[in-house]
Structure 1
Amino acid sequence: MYSPPLDPYTEQRMRAHHAGAANALDVRTEQVSEFWGWTGRTLGSPARTATGERAWLRLVSAPEDKASGKLWDGALDAQCAFGDLDGHRPALLAVHDAVDDGTAYRAELSVRVDEPVLSGDPILQRELQLPDSWWEDLAGMLEKVEAVDTGRVAVRQQYMDRAISQFLGIPAPAVTRWTTAHADLHWANLTGSPLQLLDWEGWGQAPEGFDAATLYAYTLLQPDTAARVRAVFPVLGSPAGLAAEATVCAQLLQTVGRGDNVILEAPLHAWADALRRR
């Protein structure tokens, strides 16, 4: 969760359109808490439907000419493809679109998840003691995600060719199998019991093992939990998973170069060394 945007105009217009979307969708927002996205791009808050159901209202904005494509339609596409994923994904209840002064707004009304996420930060800051059943549920859920057929693309071969060469210094490993991935699997998008996986904006095709590699990357500071991730997902360390691991490692090293995730720099370089040896 981020702070409200520094620009008062952005804060004002997002709050106004969030309230307008609530009115259009006939829900009552609960202003006890609000959750801002990066630079005020999104604004979410708990809500209740006209029949009293607990819900979540999230508003996303973008310039009108960019309000399309993978990220814009991610939640709606995920609802069509997965539904509630056997109770592991908050179902999308309704969508409301609006355009005002060159900016597009999409409001997404979803089932509210009351279980807190496992980490307030994507990078795991402490070891977790999760039951075997939780790990079994996660592995089973990702198997179902992988099996879904989609034309959406989360990772492009062109990016892999460029980024792996630049940040790992090796040619991009061959992808033995492309599968469907959530593509943003980190600890701030996962809940405990019951297990829920949040934020389905960027899902799509990726190299086999991509979600496992992403979760592992965000667990590098906690060796016991990281070892558990590798044990649960044996694709990590295998020839089949090498392309995914190299891609995720390159992605995170790229963010470090931009000043983000700098706490992961040393373990990412150690991981890159191990990948080069493979």
Structure 2
Amino acid sequence: MFSEPDDPEVVARMRTAHAVAGGAIGAVPEAGAVGSPREAWGWRGRTLGRPVAGPYGPGWTRVVHSPADKAGGKLWTGPEDAERALSPEMPRPHLHLVRQWTEDRDAYRAELYDRVDTGAVSSTPVLVKAADLPAAWWKELRNALVGLTRVRTNRVAVRQAYLDRAMPTYLSFLDVPVPTVPPAWSTAHGDLHWANLTAPDLCILDWEGWGLAPVGYDAALLHAYSLSVPETAEQVRRELSNVLDSDAGRFAELVVITELLQSAQRGDNTELVPALRQRAKEIAHRRPADKPTGR
């Protein structure tokens, strides 16, 4: 989740769109949700979610905005594709209804989900305090990620052309050659950070960007977003060592570090930069004979 946008026009436009969405899908925002902490804003106001009472009982309505000429594609259809492709046992909110409409140059998409009663581990993607999560939670997360890798899809979360272009650029501070071709690819959530995971009951939120990525991508992303809290970063490495201690996992970490260093240049999560650079150096200089630190 992100903060409410600074632009009041964006805030007003998205709240109006949410009201339109409610009428289209027969859902009413819960009293007090507007303007409260229960409003969930996406990056730069691109999405807005609220708890609602709807035709399937307690629910959650998420509205997505796009310029009309750019509506469509992977992010636009991701949740609907996930509902069709993923196992019902995957811990996630199920999608019931989708409605789309256009107003002048703006396109909107409304999605009605099951309500998730447990809160996100963090209010922001980057963890700011240690996460106290039970062993059963970690086991369920491992099982979910393994199950996800077995899903067949033509969706792409990370493109090889991006790796070829970006990795040499954003990892140029390393004094060793950086490979750009992953050992293997598999299906990933694509945005596995702490604001997209709930606890104590695990639920994985926000499936708009899922698709093929380097093996270990999700574990690597969660680890990167943990680096501000070393004890949790260490726990992630330990609990997800089945992936992170492999050559594929280490390559995935370099991919994620590349992406986050690039986004930091745009002003996102700049506090992570020193730790990201240090972690990249640790991975790049790890000798084949070095013993992993996992279980």
Structures share a fold, TM > 0.5? yes
Alignment of 1:35-46 (within 5 A): 35-46=40-51
Alignment of 1:168-183 (within 5 A): 168-169=171-172, 170-183=177-190
Residues 12 and 121 of structure 1: is their aligned pair in 2 closer, same or farther, counting only changes over 3 Å?
closer
Match of 1:163 among 166, 181, 184: 166
SS at 1:93 equivalent: strand
Aligned mates of 1:87, 1:242 — CA distance in 2: 26
* 1:151-179 deviation per Cα after TM superposition (whole angstroms, max 9, x unaligned): 00000111111221111123334322100
Match of 1:191 among 183, 191, 198: 198
Whether 1:277 and 2:278 are equivalent positions in the alignment is: no
Q: Which amino acid aligns with 2:94?
A: A
Greater shift in the superposed pair: 211-220 or 228-237: 228-237
Match of 1:208 among 215, 223, 237: 215
The match for 1:59 is: 63
SS at 2:101 equivalent: strand
Residues 172 and 31 of structure 1: is their aligned pair in 2 closer, same or farther, counting only changes over 3 Å?
farther
In the TM superposition, residue 83 of structure 1 has moved relative to its aligned partner by 5.1
Aligned mates of 1:5, 1:223 — CA distance in 2: 30
8 Å contact from structure 1 (residues 43, 60) kept in 2: yes
8 Å contact from structure 2 (residues 131, 232) kept in 1: yes
TM-score calculated relative to the size of structure 1: 0.93
Unmatched segments (≥5 aa) in structure 1: none
Aligned mates of 1:3, 1:130 — CA distance in 2: 25
* 1:21-50 deviation per Cα after TM superposition (whole angstroms, max 9, x unaligned): 111111111142223323322121111113
Alignment of 1:133-172 (within 5 A): 133-169=136-172, 170-172=177-179
Residues 186 and 6 of structure 1: is their aligned pair in 2 closer, same or farther, counting only changes over 3 Å?
closer
Q: Which amino acid aligns with 2:85?
A: A
Greater shift in the superposed pair: 155-164 or 34-43: 34-43
Aligned mates of 1:36, 1:233 — CA distance in 2: 29
Whether 1:48 and 2:56 are equivalent positions in the alignment is: no
8 Å contact from structure 1 (residues 160, 172) kept in 2: no
Alignment of 1:1-278 (within 5 A): 1-33=1-33, 34-50=39-55, 53-82=57-86, 84=88, 86=89, 88-169=91-172, 170-234=177-241, 235-278=243-286
Greater shift in the superposed pair: 42-51 or 245-254: 42-51
Residues 123 and 8 of structure 1: is their aligned pair in 2 closer, same or farther, counting only changes over 3 Å?
closer
SS at 1:138 equivalent: helix
TM-score calculated relative to the size of structure 2: 0.88
Aligned mates of 1:77, 1:39 — CA distance in 2: 24
SS at 2:244 equivalent: coil
Residues 67 and 31 of structure 1: is their aligned pair in 2 closer, same or farther, counting only changes over 3 Å?
farther
In the TM superposition, residue 88 of structure 1 has moved relative to its aligned partner by 0.9
Residues 265 and 77 of structure 1: is their aligned pair in 2 closer, same or farther, counting only changes over 3 Å?
same
Residues 166 and 31 of structure 1: is their aligned pair in 2 closer, same or farther, counting only changes over 3 Å?
farther
Aligned mates of 1:183, 1:5 — CA distance in 2: 24
8 Å contact from structure 2 (residues 98, 109) kept in 1: yes
Aligned mates of 2:226, 2:10 — CA distance in 1: 34
In the TM superposition, residue 5 of structure 1 has moved relative to its aligned partner by 3.7
Residues 67 and 211 of structure 1: is their aligned pair in 2 closer, same or farther, counting only changes over 3 Å?
same
Q: Percent of aligned pairs with the same residue?
A: 46
Unmatched segments (≥5 aa) in structure 2: 34-38, 287-295
8 Å contact from structure 1 (residues 31, 45) kept in 2: no
In the TM superposition, residue 7 of structure 1 has moved relative to its aligned partner by 3.9
In the TM superposition, residue 233 of structure 1 has moved relative to its aligned partner by 1.9
